[in-house]
């Protein structure tokens, strides 16, 4: 099992950039599929991006595709979310998540980090 801790959330201006980090602890980090989710005020949690254990395949929600980039550094046991061209609609608590390659859902979650984009 692994534990996840997000960091990097800040108040930023629309059009700005921000990079979130998710530090993992535990065994076999490189065997987990890693993902980012977000939850805006009064809204349901939604999928943002995911990356497989090898880092060779990524997938994004349509709302962030072309603006956000997910990456991972298995040596550092860290997954990143680079966010560019931020919009006020990106304001949310962002959560890091992990699942095994044979799981149908993300099982492990971080505590979340607040991203606020001002207009």
Planar angle of CA 101, 57, 12, nearest 5 degrees: 105
CA dist., res. 34 & res. 81, Å (int): 11
Which tens digits make up the pLDDT trace of 11-54? 999 999 999 999 999 888 888 999 999 999 999 999 999 999 77
CA dist., res. 64 & res. 67, Å (int): 5
Which tens digits make up the pLDDT trace of 62-112? 999 999 999 999 899 999 999 999 999 999 999 999 999 888 899 999 999
What pLDDT is attached to residue 89?
96
CA dist., res. 36 & res. 49, Å (int): 5
């Amino acid at each position: 099992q692994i534990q996840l801790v997000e960091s990097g959330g800040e108040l930023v201006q629309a059009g700005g950039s921000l990079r979130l980090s998710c530090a993992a602890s535990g065994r076999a980090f490189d065997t987990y599929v890693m993902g980012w989710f977000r939850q805006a005020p009064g809204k349901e949690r939604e999928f943002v991006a995911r990356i497989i254990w090898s880092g060779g395949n990524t997938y994004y929600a349509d709302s962030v595709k072309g603006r956000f980039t997910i990456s991972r550094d298995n040596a550092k046991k860290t997954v990143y979310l680079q966010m560019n061209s931020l919009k006020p609609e990106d304001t949310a608590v962002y959560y890091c998540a992990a699942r095994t390659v044979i799981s149908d859902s993300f099982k492990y979650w971080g505590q979340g980090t607040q991203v606020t984009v001002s207009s």
